[in-house]
Structure formats: structure tokens, C-alpha cells
Chain A
Amino acid sequence: MAPVTTVHYLVLSAALLLIGTIGVLTRRNIVIILMSIELILNAVNINLIAFSQHLKNMDGQIFAIFVITDAVAEAAVGLGILIALFRNKETVQADEIDLLKW
């Protein structure tokens, strides 16, 4: 088999980003939308790590750590909002929450 290059990692990360985007756009369940956002952030991390190894530069891995920090904060606040939403509206479907639409 051909040796694995950085480009292989980039294409894999693009595919993962694509799957995450499809999940965000098409699912109705907010929990699964949040999971798709985690997929997107992981695609970003694969990209950063691939270039960090390609250029032998540590900055990519530092950035990946900050991306993971942001993912943790986003998941915690997002799930907190989800719980508050479910208590008030009794639904977790994204298109049923249309209070601000007219």
C-alpha cells in the first residue's frame, strides 16, 4: 500500500467535517446537533495535528488543546441550555422552537 501522507489526513478531516455539517443541517434533535458540532471540532483537530507533524511545529498541538477547551465549554453551556429549554418547552426538536419567528 502507498505510504500515508499529510494529504490523507487532510482529506479524512474534510470528510469528517462534511459529515458533521450534514448532521447539523439535517437533524432535528438538538442533542444530535451538538454531537455533530463535536465531530466538526474533531475534524479541525485532525487538521491541526497533521500540519503540526508535517512542519514539526508544536503550535498546532497547542491550538488543538485550545480547541478542545472550547469544545468542553460549548458542550457544557449547550447542554445546560438544552435542559432549560426542555423544562420550558417539553421538546428537543430544533424546528419546533420557533418563538422568535413570525
Chain B
Amino acid sequence: MDTAFFYFFAALVLGGAILTITRRSAIHSAICLIVSLVGVAGLYLLQKAEFLFAVQIILYIGGIMVLFLFVIMLVNLDEQAKERQFNGQWWIALVTVAVVSVQVSYFLRKGAGAFQLARPSDAAPAAGNTEMIADALFSDYLLPFEIASLLLLVAVVGSVVMAKKRI
């Protein structure tokens, strides 16, 4: 059952991503990106990261994507949609594709056994997922947590200043 769900969500992620970078209209791209992000959220659920699943839905799909859609409607993209959509850098992209597709085709030929990872741990989780994240976040990672809040403050002030008509 897990296998079927994995392939379903993987198809959602990759199909949404490919449509995102090929659609002409930015609105269509944003909606395909939402499909892709839902797939990523499903993968989090399969990997037993329930807290991040909720964060992905609320923050990414509810927050960032609404921000994107607002900006697309604020910025008039109708003329741009009629223009050429791709620039002349396709050969750099081709090199990138070649490098990673070698790895992917090696995986498809040899299967998962060809890659050596560290031995998986089979320790049972000590507590619920959210509880363990909170434990780590507010003890070991307290200083990065505070710095992240400072980063968000800077981002809020910065985006308001950027979008303001007259500073």
C-alpha cells in the first residue's frame, strides 16, 4: 500500500513540477506548483513527518502560493504571456540534465541495492512526532530558532519597503 502511495505522490510531484516550468501562463504555473506541493506533503506523511505535513499545507500552499497568486494578479502578465517564454540558456540546462540523468538511469538499471547508505536505524520513536520536534527545537536548536524569527522580521520589513511606492 505504501508503495502505491509513493508512486502516486511521486507522479503528482514530478508531473506538477514539469507543468510548472513549461506552462505559458503564470497562473497555470502557480496552480501546477500547488499540485506538486501537495504531492510533497503526501511524501512527508509517508515518511511519518506529520508536523511537517501540516506545516507544508499551511505555510506553502496556504501562505506562499497565495502570495504568488496575489503578485501575479498585481503584475500585469498578459503581454508577457504572448512573448517568447524561454531564453537561450538551453545548453546549460542540457548539461545539468545529462549529469543527473546518468545517476537516475543508473538507479533504474541497478535498483536501490546499488547505492550504499548508512545502516537504517530501527529504534522505535520515543514520543509523538510533534513532541519530539518541539523537544529538539526548544532545547538544542533554541538559538537558531530565535535567529530564524529575526530573519522573518527582516523579511517582513524588507518586503514592505520594497513594495512601497515612495520610501
Contacts and interface: CB of A to CB of B under 8 A. Distances in A.
A23 B156 CA distance: 27
Interface in A22-53: 22-23, 25-29, 31-32, 34-36, 38-39, 42, 45-46, 49-50, 52-53
Nearest to A28: B87
A9 to B, nearest CB: 7
Contacts of B55: 65, 68
A15 B156 CA distance: 32
| B interface SS class | helix
Main secondary structure of the interface of A (DSSP, over half): helix
Given A4-B3, A66-B148, A79 B68 contact: yes
Interface residues of B, number: 88
With most chain B CB atoms within 10 A of its CB, the pick from A32, A34, A36, A56 is: A32
Interface of B: 2-4, 6-7, 10, 13-14, 17-18, 20-21, 26, 29-30, 33, 36-37, 40, 43-44, 46-49, 51-52, 55-56, 59-60, 63-64, 67-68, 71-72, 74-75, 77, 80, 83-87, 89-90, 92-93, 96-97, 100-101, 103-104, 107, 111-112, 115, 117-118, 120-123, 125, 129, 132-133, 135-137, 141, 144, 148, 151-152, 154-156, 158-163, 165
